Chain A
Amino acid sequence: MHRLNGLKRIAVVMMAGILLSISAAAISGSMVVEGSKAAGMKDCVAPTMDMRRNHMDYLKHQRDEVVHQGDRSDKFALADCVSCHASKDKQGHPVPVNAKDQFCDSCHDYTAVNITCFQCHRKVPEEK
């Protein structure tokens, strides 16, 4: 190390630091919120890897099937997403899934993607 001059030494330290922070898997790995039904389950209706990438397509596909063919047999249904992923506040009331830091919002806000689903659809589980 003694052969390196000051500038090089700083560069080496910085590089090491950056690499360390990248390889440290600090990420939670999951956006599932505490207190939701989903928190207690092992898997979603499809593998998480798949859901992360393609949920928007599945939901759109299901919408078309329902609206055009009246077929509600598809396993991807927005109402199910909501009922499973909504958490409850201290009073035990369900919190909207698109509220700040909730299941939908946490990623959608993070990646600057607007959600338009809930302009029409329910954002809390249906009371049964």
Chain B
Amino acid sequence: MAKAEFDVPELQEYVDVPELQEDTMAHVKSFVVTKPEHNTDLGFPGELVEDWHDKALEKLDDLRGRYRSLQVFLDACVKCGSCTDKCHYFLGTKDPKNMPVGRQDLLRKVYRRYFTFAGKYFPKLVGAKDLTRETLDEWYNYYHQCSQCRRCSVFCPYGIDTAEISMAAREILDSIGYGQKYCNEIIGKVHKIGNNLGLPGPALEDTLEGLEEDMEDDFGVPVKFPLNVKGADILLVTPSADFFAEPHIDGLIGYGKVFHEAGASWTLSSTASEAGNFGMFIGSYENMRRVSMRIREAAQELGVKRIIFGECGHAWRVAYAFLNTLAGPFDFLDQKYPAPQHILEYTWEQIQAGKLNIDKSANDDMTLTFHDSCNVARATRIGDYPGSQFETPRNVIKAVCNNYVDMHHDSIGERTFCCGGGGGLLTDDLMEIRVKGALPRMTELQNVIKDKGVTHMAAICAICKSQFTKVLPYYGMDMDQIVSLHQLVSNAIVLTGQVTDDDEAESDAESEAEE
């Protein structure tokens, strides 16, 4: 059990809808930008501007003219309450401002006060409030307790998506110089260096070379991890966490093995060495576009025919749903393939074509379940039909593992619960909300562990993986119970010409020991 300065909720069989307890999370405030360049690099004022009141309202007015979603969502809510018990952060914290509509209302009450007839003349009647410094701080605190997972939007009769509201709120905050350190610093790194971690080209090259050596040592097969290869067919864009974090890197090895066995000509790029796009988290079209353009430029420079994205949730949303808009048209790529593609689309194609030699028993030491990542589940497809985002990952897992069970149906598919760390919250200063927000997912995971003998949970999102690694121990589970989906693929692939070495069994024995 990890040490905590807050009470970690106890896991029960169900997550009961809690009674309201006001302001339990009012004290949780993500670090604010203190170095002005973290804001100015993104085109925002370095620190809170003096006329923030008027500027904030101006920005709100500007945004509601640019985003139909914002304008309609601010108007249409009837306070039916359907969303109130759907947010993992509310379920874990009891704070009514973490109910989706409670969160929206922080902005809505100001919108009503300044931009609607009813709010201007009868503010008390419609719950309209003045924009004050307190409101501003509340915006900051609570809009950084939303992982933009869109679960609320599934249950709203008007499809109101709190993610859209929280993106708008964050953009307003950024526009007056009240930015969040975590997101803005990271976006700055992408602009300057090319990835979220600030991993420079040479370091990346080193890492990949090391990986190649390991592969050669382990399997006696030269599985390559090419970087900046001009004329390659495929550009792989993957979250930078895949280059060094656990269990992410095991996924990267999986991609490498799949490409190797498929005989693909592929490459990574040192300038587009990041799939993630935190520009979405802060709702900034401009920054999201700037981050996306690197990928287009790298693809053109390297002359590739296809772009494939690695396992990452929000990155896949930006890639699947926005990239064509932000950095398209991709008419210079091979039009036979969708642009861009998900690595799982590629792997599933190879499995179906029989290109991969699979030994499912290599994963027999595990019983798997799958965590649908929110952005993948509720904003994208992985395949050519609606719902393929749920089936393709499961198809691949079932093709490489013998033991697979699903978690409770209310916690997977379009109803999946967020890991608790998405949307720009994956920072240590938000540990309390991350742990508490993971409660619903942890509950359902524990249930399948107890009832179905599940040992590991696979994910296809860099943030999910990092979050679970941190949070599982708080709930009495092991950090290595979270695995990359392509780690399972990697385990099961028997490489052509692979040295069958009994020594290999040793490494697997460790994880088996627990059963």
Whether the complex brings A and B within 8 Å at their CB atoms is answered no
